[in-house]
Chains A and B, each alone.
Chain A
Amino acid sequence: EADIYQTPRYLVIGTGKKITLECSQTMGHDKMYWYQQDPGMELHLIHYSYGVNSTEKGDLSSESTVSRIRTEHFPLTLESARPSHTSQYLCASSSGGLAEAFFGQGTRLTVV
């Protein structure tokens, strides 16, 4: 089992609410990533970080924001959730940009 954890596992929330999806890893990895995946579909990179105080937007435009204040922690925030944000969000980390990635179990978000 990989030492990367996401909470909550499932979240149902009303439109307009602010939410934060948590992701933590205990492997000391510098590289961390957020992917968005609709059921049965491909993964889209929405944010990544190469270390503390380093964050970049991914290939898919997202209204979410991220922060990297500590190496082990990479939370994702939606200021005002909308039904279009309904999806699965997967967090991952790796020791290098092209190295094996370790994934959390994901957060399945439903905005009603």
Chain B
Amino acid sequence: SQQGEEDPQALSIQEGENATMNCSYKTSINNLQWYRQNSGRGLVHLILIRSNEREKHSGRLRVTLDTSKKSSSLLITASRAADTASYFCATGRIQGAQKLVFGQGTRLTINP
């Protein structure tokens, strides 16, 4: 099964509100990354947080990581219509082959 599982699967909010998405994983990780995918296109890297970090910011994005609970959250503040997309978390596992494993994604819709 996939390493990361995003929650919720779909989220619809009004423009200007904050959006929070969560990701849970099962095994020990080296880092956790968040990506955005606009409809029918490739993924774009948003932010990477290492296993020894607890919080990271990039513009309107805030990511937290709780390794004890094996979970991460992505907060998008002051959402815009252009933020409408699917958001995926990806984990870099410590053991086994070094490759990213993606979750199922959260479909975010920002209503104007």
| Interface of A toward B, CB cutoff 8 Å | 2, 6, 31, 33, 35, 39-43, 45, 48, 56, 58-59, 88, 90, 92, 94, 96-98, 100-106, 108
Contacts and interface: CB of A to CB of B under 8 A. Distances in A.
A102 B104 contact: no
A42 B41 contact: no
B30 A59 contact: no
B81 to A, nearest CB: 20
Nearest to A100: B45
B61 interface: no
B interface secondary structure, majority:
strand
Contacts of B40: 39, 88, 106, 108
Interface residues of B, number: 26
Given A42-B105, A43-B88, A98-B31, A90 B43 contact: yes
Contacts of B88: 42-43
Interface of B: 2, 30-31, 33, 35, 40-45, 48, 86, 88, 90, 92, 97-105, 107
Given A43-B102, A103-B42, A106-B41, 15 more contacts: A2-B42, A6-B42, A31-B99, A33-B99, A39-B40, A40-B107, A42-B103, A43-B43, A43-B88, A90-B43, A97-B92, A98-B30, A101-B35, A105-B42, A106-B40
A48 B105 contact: no
Contacts of B100: 33, 94, 97-98, 101
Contact of A101 (B41, B45, B107): B45
B61 to A, nearest CB: 15
A6 B92 CA distance: 24
A71 B101 CA distance: 23
Nearest to A101: B100
30 contacts: A6-B42, A33-B99, A35-B102, A40-B86, A41-B105, A42-B2, A42-B103, A42-B104, A43-B43, A43-B102, A45-B101, A56-B97, A58-B99, A90-B42, A90-B43, A92-B42, A97-B97, A97-B100, A98-B30, A98-B92, A98-B98, A100-B45, A101-B100, A103-B43, A104-B42, A105-B41, A105-B42, A106-B40, A106-B42, A108-B40
